[in-house]
C-alpha cells in the first residue's frame, strides 16, 4: 500500500497490516492454498523505502507475497514487479507467489500483468468479497474472524452475533483493541456499517460491546439513542395497554363481584388499544357478564 494517504485509509492500512502480522492462518491458507509457517521481513534495502504489506513462508518453502489494495491503482503492475525483483534478490532460490487482494467496496478494475516486448509478467488479483465469510469464522484466530467482515457476508447479523460471543470471552483491553479493528475494517463496507448501527438501534447487542463501539466511533451513538427512544416509546405503550386491561378487570369485578379466570386471560391477551377501550365501555354499562364478548 502506498504512503501519503488520507487519515481514514492510513488507519485502515495499519489495521490490516497489524492483523496480518499475527498470521491469520485460515485466511492465508484460503488465499495461497497452503499454510503459512513464518512471517518474513517486509522491508527491503533500497535507495527508496520499500515495505511490502505481508510476506509469508509457506509450508512447502515457497514465498507468498500479499499486497492489500483499497482502490484501483493503474500503477499496481509496476509496483508488484518492483517487489518481485526485491523479493527475488532476497530469496533467490525460492518460488515466489504474488497476490494483490482487493479489499475495497467496489470492483477491482485494474490490470494484473505487464506484457511488453521481451517481458511477460503476471500476478494474482483477487477480490476479498469472493471469499465466503463462514470459512474464516470457523477459525480459532480472532484475526481471521475480523477479516471476515470484508469478505462475502450473507448473514451479517449472525456473523456479528458469533463475533460478539467470541469477543465477550476476551480480556477487556484485548477486546477493545479488536473492536477498534473491526470498526475500522467495517468503515469500508458502508451498507454493513448501517446494518450494525441498526442492530444497536434494535438493542441486539450486549451493552458492554455497544458502549465500547460508541467510544471507538461516535457514528454508532445515533443507533443507540434511537434504540433507547424506541424502548421508552414501547414501554409507554405497553404501560397504557396494561392499565386498560386492569381497568376492565376492575370494572367487571365491581359490577358483578367476580371475574371468571377465562375472561381475565382473554382480556390480558388483547393488545389493541381501541378494542380495549370499547371493551371497557361495555364493562361499565352491561347488565350481564355473558354480554362481555371477547
Mean pLDDT per block of 10 residues along the chain (294 residues) reads 54 75 82 89 71 92 94 94 94 96 90 93 95 86 89 87 85 86 85 80 64 66 51 54 82 80 86 81 76 68
Parse the chain into domains and list their residue ranges.
7-130, 133-227, 237-291
Burial of 167 (C-beta count, 10 Å sphere; 0-12/13-18/19+):
buried
What local confidence, expressed as pLDDT, does residue 216 receive?
66
What local confidence, expressed as pLDDT, does residue 126 receive?
95
Spacing of C-alpha 267 from chain mean position: 43
Is 7-130 a CATH 1.20.58 domain?
no
Record the pTM. 0.64
- Cell numbers at residue 30, please? 484460503
Instruction: Give the C-alpha separation, 223 to 214, whole Å.
Output: 10
Query: For the chain, where are the E strands, in sequence order?
Result: 36-39, 43-44, 50-51, 54-58, 63-69, 96-102, 113-116, 119-122, 124-127
Query: For 143-183, where are the E strands, in sequence order?
Result: none
Burial of 234 (C-beta count, 10 Å sphere; 0-12/13-18/19+):
exposed
What local confidence, expressed as pLDDT, does residue 92 receive?
93
Instruction: Give the C-alpha separation, 232 to 252, whole Å.
Output: 31
Contacting residues for 271 by C-beta, under 8 A, at least 6 apart:
241
Instruction: Give the C-alpha separation, 201 to 230, whole Å.
Output: 8
User: Number of helices and strands (H, E) in the chain?
Assistant: 12, 9
3-state secondary structure of 127: strand
Amino acid at each position: 500500500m502506498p504512503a501519503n494517504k488520507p487519515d481514514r485509509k492510513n488507519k485502515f492500512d495499519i489495521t490490516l497490516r497489524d492483523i496480518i502480522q499475527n498470521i491469520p492462518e485460515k485466511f492465508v491458507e484460503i488465499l495461497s492454498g497452503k499454510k503459512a509457517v513464518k512471517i518474513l521481513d517486509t522491508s527491503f534495502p533500497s535507495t527508496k523505502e520499500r515495505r511490502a504489506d505481508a510476506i509469508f513462508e509457506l509450508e512447502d518453502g515457497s514465498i507468498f507475497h500479499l499486497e492489500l489494495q483499497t482502490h484501483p491503482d493503474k500503477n499496481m503492475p509496476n509496483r508488484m514487479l518492483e517487489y518481485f525483483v526485491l523479493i527475488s534478490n532476497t530469496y533467490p532460490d525460492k518460488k515466489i507467489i504474488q497476490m494483490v487482494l482487493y479489499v475495497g467496496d467496489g470492483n477491482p478494475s485494474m490490470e494484473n500483468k505487464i506484457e511488453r516486448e521481451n517481458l511477460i509478467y503476471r500476478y494474482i488479483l483477487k477480490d476479498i468479497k469472493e471469499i465466503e465469510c463462514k470459512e474464516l469464522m470457523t477459525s480459532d484466530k480472532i484475526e481471521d474472524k475480523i477479516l471476515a467482515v470484508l469478505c462475502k457476508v450473507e448473514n451479517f447479523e449472525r456473523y456479528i452475533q458469533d463475533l460478539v460471543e467470541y469477543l465477550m470471552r476476551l480480556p477487556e483491553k484485548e477486546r477493545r483493541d479488536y473492536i477498534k479493528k473491526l470498526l475500522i475494517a467495517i468503515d469500508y463496507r458502508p451498507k454493513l456499517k448501517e446494518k450494525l448501527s441498526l442492530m444497536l438501534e434494535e438493542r441486539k447487542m450486549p451493552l458492554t460491546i455497544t458502549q465500547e463501539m460508541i467510544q471507538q466511533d461516535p457514528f454508532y451513538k445515533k443507533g443507540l439513542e434511537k434504540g433507547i427512544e424506541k424502548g421508552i416509546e414501547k414501554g409507554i405503550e405497553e404501560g397504557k395497554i396494561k392499565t386498560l386491561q386492569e381497568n376492565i378487570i376492575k370494572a367487571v369485578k365491581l359490577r358483578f363481584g367476580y371475574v371468571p379466570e377465562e375472561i381475565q386471560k382473554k382480556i390480558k391477551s388483547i393488545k389493541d388499544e381501541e378494542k380495549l377501550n370499547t371493551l371497557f365501555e361495555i364493562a361499565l354499562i352491561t347488565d350481564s357478564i355473558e354480554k362481555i364478548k371477547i
